[in-house]
Amino acid sequence: MISFGPFQPDVGGPNSGVAANIVNALPQKGGENIGYGPFPQLVTPSSAGALSDAPRGAITLRTSAGASETYFATVSTIEKLAADYTFSVIATGLSVTAGDDMSFAHFGSYLLNSNTFDGFKAYNVETPGTNDAVSGAPAARFIFICNNVVFALDCDADNRRMQSSGIGDHTAWTSSGANGKTFEDGGALIAGCDLKNGYALIFQEQAQRLIQFGNAPEGALYSISKAADGRGSVGARSVVPFDGSAYYLATDGFWSFDLKNGNVPIGAEKINQWFLSQVDNSRLSDVQGAIDPQRKIVVWRYPVIGETTVFANAIGYDWHLNEWFRLSVSTSFLARLETPGYTLDEMDTFGDLDTISIPLDDRFWEGGLPFFSALDENYKTASFSGDPMAATLESAPVNSPVTGLIGWGTPIDDCVDGTLQLGVADDPSTALTWKTGAARGSRGGRVPLRGRGLNIAFRRNIPAGSTWTYANGVDHVQSSSGGPT
């Protein structure tokens, strides 16, 4: 069988055993072989309303009563997402710094929010009122929580300044253990995240610092040590923390960090070169990621030259399989949200059973479950819960010492739709010529093909909405030898 193999576009050439192109399909592993399964379409509920402007940050939190709430920022507002996926403005008159997102953190009863222009504010999610400035707090570009302490990065126009609040008190910045430090090397502070068990990771332009609570000298709350020198993150949007790990983009590609393994180059010799050839390199700080906890993947949307707020492409990493894939889908933001939950009566907002496009057994309808979401090209909330996307799976070329006339091939998948294309070339340095695709025949799912070449490859095209669960490659290739050797 000619298998599709793992998506590793940095590894090229005939007989490489890797997929030359995988679009809109999730990696699956059986033994040593990598196959693929469907990825669901992005579905926008019919009731969804648009965010008032381009998204500039988001957070999902749980109130003390256990309710899930989601908030988005624009350049001038903070807006709350309602159960029918419309938005209501809870704060206005803001001016989020150009090129930044609003940085959010949930702390006790408060939704903390900060940017370098408007400063540090707090909104009480338990007894909603106004979004109020916190006296004495720094105007920070980025905030995060670790061990019941608020950390503020890039403070008061000093991009190397970090400050931490008092224990359990977001209003205490000079007492109760509040502290601060200015880093003289490593460049500007970019982002930070809680890891586990009293550890946090801080990203700079050219360094990483590990914060550890406990066992600090001279009675300090925490110690700080370097986790990396010469390697940081391209921007806060690319840093995606989850369950003790952090996934991020550096100038040389994609990495992960955890306490056991440190920094791991997850994209090296796989997709880094390809990715950096696709993305607008002047806008690496706009690469923005989110976790899909159900599928155990992290996905980053990225801009190509000419795109503004809506990006048409994304790249994904399966940390369980250590494999990559890419998506062709238009989004203006990616997020991990939690559903509010719906009764049968509340589902009426989304239409009748004949018009609801989200499957009734999808976790979208269940309360409190995290799901992978996005804002679509119209700034409306949508979920990846539809029928399968249109998928393309392309094998690497296989070289033969003797040219052959290919007559048949059998896609090893359970999709009855779509086509199989044959790609041929005589010289490995020559681009493949792709023949017109053909559908399965009536005998064993074979596909009639016609083409001749010393190098052959296969491209499986599966239409949107088709039913399938696996696609592993092409087998039972029938050819007749002949021609120049």
- In this predicted structure, what is the pLDDT of residue 406? 93
**DSSP string for 253-266:** EEEEEETTTEEE-T
Give the tens place of pLDDT for each residue, 261-298.
Answer: 999 999 999 999 999 999 999 999 999 999 999 999 99
Domain boundaries, the chain: 2-21+32-39+390-481
Sorting pLDDT into bands at 50, 70 and 90, what band is 19? Answer: very high
Strand partners, 133: 121
Sorting pLDDT into bands at 50, 70 and 90, what band is 481? Answer: low
CA–CA distance, 188 with 153 (Å, rounded to integer): 9
Is 2.60.40 the CATH classification of the domain at 2-21+32-39+390-481? no
Read off the tokens for 182: 């200015």
- In this predicted structure, what is the pLDDT of residue 359? 59
Q: Is the pLDDT of residue 53 over 60?
A: yes
Sorting pLDDT into bands at 50, 70 and 90, what band is 338? Answer: confident
Give the tens place of pLDDT for each residue, 172-190.
Answer: 999 999 999 999 999 999 9
Read off the tokens for 306: 């000419």
Give the tens place of pLDDT for each residue, 355-373.
Answer: 555 555 555 556 567 889 9
- Among 63-72, 227-236, 344-353, 466-475, name the one with the lowest average pLDDT: 344-353
How many Cβ atoms are within 10 Å of 107's Cβ, its own excluded?
19
Mean pLDDT of 186-210: 97
Query: 3-class DSSP state for residue 218?
Result: helix
- In this predicted structure, what is the pLDDT of residue 484? 47
pTM of the model: 0.92
- In this predicted structure, what is the pLDDT of residue 444? 85
Give the tens place of pLDDT for each residue, 403-461.
Answer: 879 999 999 999 999 999 999 999 998 999 999 999 999 788 999 999 999 999 999 99
- Pair type for strands 391-395 and 199-204: unpaired
- In this predicted structure, what is the pLDDT of residue 384? 95
CA–CA distance, 436 with 82 (Å, rounded to integer): 48
